[in-house]
Amino acid sequence: MTRPDHQSGSDRIHEALAALDPEKRVATVVNVQGDLPTIDPAIIGAALRPFEDVAVDIATLGVEIEREEEKSNPNVVKIVGSPVAPGRLKALYFTRATAPWGDGPLYHHIGLYAYRRAALERFVALRPSPLEIRERLEQLRALEAGMRIDAEIVRSVPLGVDTPDDLERARQLLSS
């Protein structure tokens, strides 16, 4: 168990990494959050693909939003980004609002992060940023500090457990 006073999941994984790997042999860390109990293990590996570009500090996953009600749902975090490769976005912003405006796809952020070790160490040394605090999204701290986050676009949408209804739906899915 990690300390209970961490402000983010990234702080928790940094503590665990330091305890499990004090020799710093591990170069890349993947954080699969507990609120994604139905994530397809096959897409976890997809989160590592953005590291093919040495400029990427943090990698994550996204999926095109197809359900109309998710476009305005604040529990569905959206990625605003620009394409950098087929099926990959360079993240410019993350928001709970509906963004970007206008025609075109919207992308749901899947809350899984892969870090280069040096990026994780830099991230946890930063203070929470104004946009992070406002949106309650830790990845904005990295963007505000000039770190690069790329999102690999996948097709599978894991159920995120954000509400009691989501928890009940997850229980039903996992018990069948």
CATH number of the domain that 111 lies in? 3.90.550.10
Q: What is the domain extent for residue 99?
A: 9-175
Q: Is residue 80 part of a domain?
A: yes
pLDDT at residue 73, as a whole number: 92
Q: Is residue 73 part of a domain?
A: yes
State the amino acid at position 56 in one-letter form.
V
pLDDT at residue 99, as a whole number: 93
Q: Is residue 167 part of a domain?
A: yes
- Dump pLDDT digits (tens) for 159-172: 566 778 877 877 87
- Dump pLDDT digits (tens) for 36-75: 666 778 888 999 999 999 999 999 999 999 999 999 999 8
Q: How many domains does the chain have?
A: 1
Closest CA to 119 of 94, 90, 148, 97: 148
**What's the start-to-end Cα distance of the chain, in Å?**
30
Percent of the chain with pLDDT over 90: 69
pTM > 0.85: yes or no: yes
123 against 31, higher pLDDT: 123
What number is the average pLDDT over the span 147-151?
A: 98
pLDDT band at 80 (very low <50, low <70, confident <90, very high): very high
